[in-house]
Amino acid sequence: MKALFAATLVFLILCSSLSYADSVNSQPSGSTPSAADSVALQSTTEKGGATEYPLTPERQLQLRSYARFVNIWRFVQFFVSIGLLALLLFTGLSARFRDWAGVARRKFWVTWLYLAIVMVVLYLLELPFDYYRGFVVESQYGFMNQTGGEWLLDTLKSLGLGIVFGIIPMWFFYYLINRVKRWWLVFSIGAIPLMIFFIVVAPVFIMPMFNKFEPLKDKQLESEILMLANKAGISGSHVYEVDASKQSSKINAYVTGLFGTKRIVLYDTLIKGFTPDEIKFVMGHEMGHYVMHHIWWGLGMAIVFIVFMLWLTDRTIHPVITRFRTRFKFDRLGDIASLPLVLIFLSVFSFVFQPVSNGLSRYFENQSDRYGMKISGVSGETAATAFEKLSAYNLADPDPNPLVEFWFYDHPALKKRIEAVRVLAGQ
């Protein structure tokens, strides 16, 4: 589900050096690795080995410290990216990059070259932080199944994709600002086909650049999932397993794509660690997202958000440019050198308004949990165990501070989900 909200910030995602592989469900304002539709937790799986469920006392302690770290890092990530963007502005570097890009002569190529320079520079400046968060810490907690080199290669792929695709929203954005008074409205409307395009294309062309997607190997399980899909009235859907264990031992499943590219994806880690009934519940939950059109609702929400955030940017950004124009070395929003400033504004607004999108996401997740229970017909205990495993394998805090949940969680706290499925089963 988070994918929908990631789409909210298509502009941010594409124009900043965020990793595409994780962007499917990560926080819009950061590149925190997070899983697609699940419940954030973590596993001690050795490569291909046994997972730890139930949690040992040591793992319990690790869960707490990991949860604490993740929460602190949300802020570190946020302030680091704002700080680096501000650095590009206040040192006049952004304007200098624009001047360098001037060698390309034609406006379109200048814009693209500028974007490429900014993205590469940001990538390099953020690399130490990303490496620490995405590799070192993940290794410490036993999630990492990649070598440092493989990890680095994935981040380079993401950077390349960002440079290739980022030009689309960026060109459109500056083209409109220089010509249309209500550019924020036109941009948002224009972003609709763009977002649909990315949701359609990503599962077929982009995600396979990071992982291998195959039909389920377990034919018995596949036929059970297809039967479930039938019961849910979903026809022509495809069930894939992805070798997510290549990167991380965390567990997840998600639904993505639209039209012909829509697909249900199970992480191989899920297949390995869960019983068939638990998997059926998880997949029933994913089908709930299909059946209740959460992708479209999410998209609609995303549009509303984009309109609002861009409008707010337009209302507030001009005085800042005027105030610092000598330092920034640009004096209007229509100058491409303003990109870092635009990204700062969008990051701050999306951080501030996260509780709204996350609140809606949690509501969808609740609905899907109900649906999953109903369609799979599993017992409350089975569903509860599935959640407990997610918490154990992914080191997700089942019972976070309510404020943390309110602000940052796009899924309800696992403890609440567990209580809810038990109540549902008792009805």
Q: Which segments are annotated as binding site?
A: 285, 289, 365
Q: Total residues at the site for Zn ion (CB under 5 A)?
A: 4
Angle between helical axes of 294-323 and 276-291 (0-180°, round to 10): 70
Q: Which of residues 357-386 bind Zn ion (CB under 5 A)?
A: 365, 368
**Cα distance between residue 66 and residue 61, in whole Å:** 9
Q: How far is the CB of 254 from Zn ion (least distance, A)?
A: 8
Catalytic site includes residue 222:
no
Q: Is 283 helix (H, G, I), strand (E, B) or coil?
A: helix
37 binds Zn ion (CB under 5 A): yes
202 binds Zn ion (CB under 5 A): no
Q: How far is the CB of 373 from Zn ion (least distance, A)?
A: 13
Catalytic site includes residue 369:
yes
Residues placed in the known binding site for Zn(2+): 285, 289, 365
Label residue 425 exposed, middle or buried (CB < 10 Å: 0-12, 13-18, 19+).
middle
Cis-peptide, bond into residue 54, ω within 30° of zero: yes
Contact 98, 336 (CB under 8 A): yes
**Cα distance between residue 156 and residue 81, in whole Å:** 18
Please give the C-alpha separations between residue 414 and each of 38, 58, 63, 357, in angstroms, as whole numbers.
10, 20, 13, 19
Given the residues 22, 154, 369, 410, select the one marked as catalytic: 369
Closer to Zn ion by CB, 194 or 264: give it.
264
Closer to Zn ion by CB, 37 or 268: give it.
37
| Interface stretch with Zn ion, choices 35-43, 80-88, 101-109, 197-205 (CB under 5 A) | 35-43
Q: Which of residues 81-140 bind Zn ion (CB under 5 A)?
A: none
1 binds Zn ion (CB under 5 A): yes
Given the residues 130, 154, 286, 410, select the one marked as catalytic: 286
Q: How far is the CB of 2 from Zn ion (least distance, A)?
A: 9
**Cα distance between residue 68 and residue 62, in whole Å:** 10
| Interface stretch with Zn ion, choices 29-37, 44-52, 142-150, 230-238 (CB under 5 A) | 29-37
* 266 φ, ψ (degrees, to nearest 5): -110, 135
Q: Which residues bind Zn ion (CB under 5 A)?
A: 1, 37, 365, 368
Residues classed as catalytic:
286, 369
